[in-house]
Structure 1
Amino acid sequence: MNSAPLPTRAGYQAPASSLPPRAGLGLKSEHFKQVLEQAPDLGFFEVHAENYMVAGGPFHHYLGLIRERYPLSLHGVGLSIGGEGPLDSAHLERLAALNERYQPQAFSEHLAWSSHGPVFLNDLLPLAYDKPTLQRVCEHIDQVQNRLGRSMLLENPATYLQFQRSTLDEAEFIAEVVQRSGCGLLLDVSNLYLSCINHQRDPLAYLQALPLQAVGEIHLAGFAEDRDSLGDRLLIDDHGAAVDAAVWALYRQVLQRIGPMPTLIERDNQVPAFAVLQAEAAQAEALLRAARVQP
């Protein structure tokens, strides 16, 4: 790339994540009372920012109590970092208010777009990986980081198609964004595996090409499986099942390369009993402990 790197701001030189290198869970409303009553031994909780963009109510009541006991990761799903239009300034202000209110140990968003003009699409849609998109994404991240006064984490996407006009591969694009914007990386191991299977890439080669030194949090989630029109495997990022064995194996590879990292178990659909999620978090915690003692 010949373009000069975008400057990073002195005001947010602190790490993009100060979460403990332990396993955490996505906080679901059906588990609020159980979390407060049982005080489970978990490293942190993560919430979707858009669920808390109201002034008050029970969600804020319970999150405030839980935030007193646990570190918090705030995860955005609607900022449309990759959108062609300008960022929604009202949405960004609501994010800033949430960050100020809860002082989370990490804030993250997706490398995707979800809006076009006044229309919001309830999906995380893919980008063309070329120089104009790279510049636009970096400018949007710079705007977010300036407004929040902190570095953010950018999540690698789950994708089902690729653009012919792309001139960079996905891992190279992400590495350029991280280097130019100064943001960190939320490494979604499930998304990495899913996208590599869908596009017939080598997951380990993709992993090696990422800026692993910038990882501040890891996500693990389940997926659904189908077949495309040619009969090939098609993995769908539905967050509705347990973490797949292949994803656990890839997660071990990640830990061997970068050591223990804050690791979230995601489950957004077909949410099971809290004990089931705790068991998956315990599985991640065991691997994190093993990574701490490896030579």
Structure 2
Amino acid sequence: MTRHTSIAQLPRLGLGLGLRNSHFEHILAHWPEVDWFEAISENFMDSGGRPRDVIRKVAERYPVVLHGVSMSIGSTDPLDMTYLARLKALAADVQPQWISDHLCWTGVMGLNSHDLLPVPLNEETLAHIAARIHKVQDFLGRPLILENPSTYVGFQETTLEEPDFLRALAQQTGCGLLLDVNNVYVSCFNAGTDPLKYLQGFPMEHVVQMHIAGHSHYGTHIIDTHDQPVRSEVWDLYAIAFHASNGASTLLEWDGNIPDFDTCHAELLKSKRHIQGNLSTPDMAPVIASGSAISNPVDFLVPDVLSSKSSLP
């Protein structure tokens, strides 16, 4: 893959799970019927021991995607070329289908906050991040896939809606997008905005991958915790997004209180019931940010992109 590879050439992988160390033994012993795995880049890039051995073995049997949390594409610090070199070496070793990270910054002045911090969405930020994406893609020799983060605050300096900002980034740089459907619901609830309207404005033509996950609802706000099953309102949004993205590769995230592999896999397979059932479409009544599910279901055709590996139990 080269820097000039079009994201339209990237494959539709089907349904995938995160490659977590608590599941290593199960995966190596059973080689489960999963379409693909997503690995957190930082968990594998510095390891020459068991984690690196496991991801190599997994990559021999399954498509693998690398998903980072430390690129800090939105920071005002210079790009960390040491980090990028380690990431490039890992990619050369496991040959991922693509590399992704987040529209965020994680630190400044050389300090890492270990959090995915939001950026003000305006023309100045757009130009800054677009220039950095070009440099990253040139260095890695492949397109970068960027995820919409979960947010809890807004900025007075913001002048662009997030879908418009991401569309402009994709158009200016050729990067792809990772649409995290749970983050859409979390961010819209916290901001008091409509998640369905957000999806209606999202540049689905640039979506390479989607995330689904669970969150913690505290009444007045939601925290993106990835430590429980996917909620019904997120499933409803996912069904719409899957259809609108023409069946983008889907990944279930479960990062806290991680259950056994079979429980995670069963949660992932619920997605097929939602995308093959009677679902709401974007022209239905808006989803409100109070936590209510989408209503007025209608039928639609599901793209034939899911492999037989992820068959319903």
Is the Cα contact below 8 Å between 1:106 and 1:153 reproduced in 2?
yes
Distance of aligned partners of 1:293 and 1:106 in 2 relative to their CA distance in 1, 3 Å threshold: closer
Q: What is the CA–CA distance in structure 2 between the aligned matches of 1:41 and 1:79, rounded to whole Å?
A: 31
- 1:265 corresponds, among 230, 252, 261, to 252
2:222 corresponds to: 235
1:199 corresponds to: 191
What is the CA distance between 1:39 and its match in structure 2? Answer: 1.5
What is the CA distance between 1:288 and its match in structure 2? Answer: 5.1
Q: What is the CA–CA distance in structure 2 between the aligned matches of 1:90 and 1:46, rounded to whole Å?
A: 22
Q: What one-letter code is carried by the residue in structure 1 that aligns with 2:256?
A: N
Q: What is the CA–CA distance in structure 2 between the aligned matches of 1:39 and 1:55, rounded to whole Å?
A: 22
Is the Cα contact below 8 Å between 2:12 and 2:247 reproduced in 1?
no
What is the CA distance between 1:36 and its match in structure 2? Answer: 1.7
1:292 corresponds to: 303
Q: What one-letter code is carried by the residue in structure 2 that aligns with 1:265?
A: L
User: Where do 1:28-67 residues align within 5 Å?
Assistant: 28-67=20-59
Q: Secondary structure at the match of 2:221?
A: strand
What is the CA distance between 1:14 and its match in structure 2? Answer: 3.3
Q: Normalization by structure 2: what TM-score? A: 0.85
Q: What is the CA–CA distance in structure 2 between the aligned matches of 1:46 and 1:177, rounded to whole Å?
A: 23
Is the aligned partner of 1:123 residue 2:107? no
Is the aligned partner of 1:282 residue 2:269? yes
1:109 corresponds to: 101
- 1:150 corresponds, among 139, 142, 152, to 142
1:82 corresponds to: 74
Q: What is the CA–CA distance in structure 2 between the aligned matches of 1:180 and 1:26, rounded to whole Å?
A: 30
What is the CA distance between 1:17 and its match in structure 2? Answer: 7.1
1:251 corresponds to: 238
Which of 144-153 and 10-19 deviates more? 10-19
Q: What is the CA–CA distance in structure 1 between the aligned matches of 2:256 and 2:244, rounded to whole Å?
A: 31
Is the Cα contact below 8 Å between 1:23 and 1:44 reproduced in 2?
yes
1:190 corresponds to: 182
Q: What one-letter code is carried by the residue in structure 2 that aligns with 1:129?
A: L
Which of 263-272 and 200-209 deviates more? 200-209
What is the CA distance between 1:77 and its match in structure 2? Answer: 0.3
Q: Secondary structure at the match of 1:12?
A: coil
Q: What is the CA–CA distance in structure 2 between the aligned matches of 1:86 and 1:293, rounded to whole Å?
A: 43
Q: What is the CA–CA distance in structure 2 between the aligned matches of 1:192 and 1:208, rounded to whole Å?
A: 12
What is the CA distance between 1:133 and its match in structure 2? Answer: 0.8
1:230 corresponds to: none
What is the CA distance between 1:166 and its match in structure 2? Answer: 1.0
The one-character-per-residue Cα deviations of 1:196-233 (angstroms, maximum 9, x if unpaired) are 11111111111111110011001001111224xxxxx2
Q: What is the CA–CA distance in structure 2 between the aligned matches of 1:274 and 1:82, rounded to whole Å?
A: 34
1:6 corresponds to: none
Is the Cα contact below 8 Å between 1:22 and 1:261 reproduced in 2?
yes
Give the aligned CA root-mean-square deviation in angstroms: 1.7
Q: What is the CA–CA distance in structure 2 between the aligned matches of 1:20 and 1:36, rounded to whole Å?
A: 24
Q: What is the CA–CA distance in structure 1 between the aligned matches of 2:224 and 2:19, rounded to whole Å?
A: 19
Q: What is the CA–CA distance in structure 1 between the aligned matches of 2:266 and 2:9, rounded to whole Å?
A: 25
Q: What one-letter code is carried by the residue in structure 2 that aligns with 1:274?
A: F
User: Where do 1:174-185 residues align within 5 Å?
Assistant: 174-185=166-177
Q: Normalization by structure 1: what TM-score? A: 0.90
Is the Cα contact below 8 Å between 1:17 and 1:106 reproduced in 2?
no
- 1:168 corresponds, among 160, 175, 179, to 160
Is the Cα contact below 8 Å between 2:7 and 2:175 reproduced in 1?
no
Q: What is the CA–CA distance in structure 1 between the aligned matches of 2:276 and 2:118, rounded to whole Å?
A: 35
What is the CA distance between 1:16 and its match in structure 2? Answer: 7.0
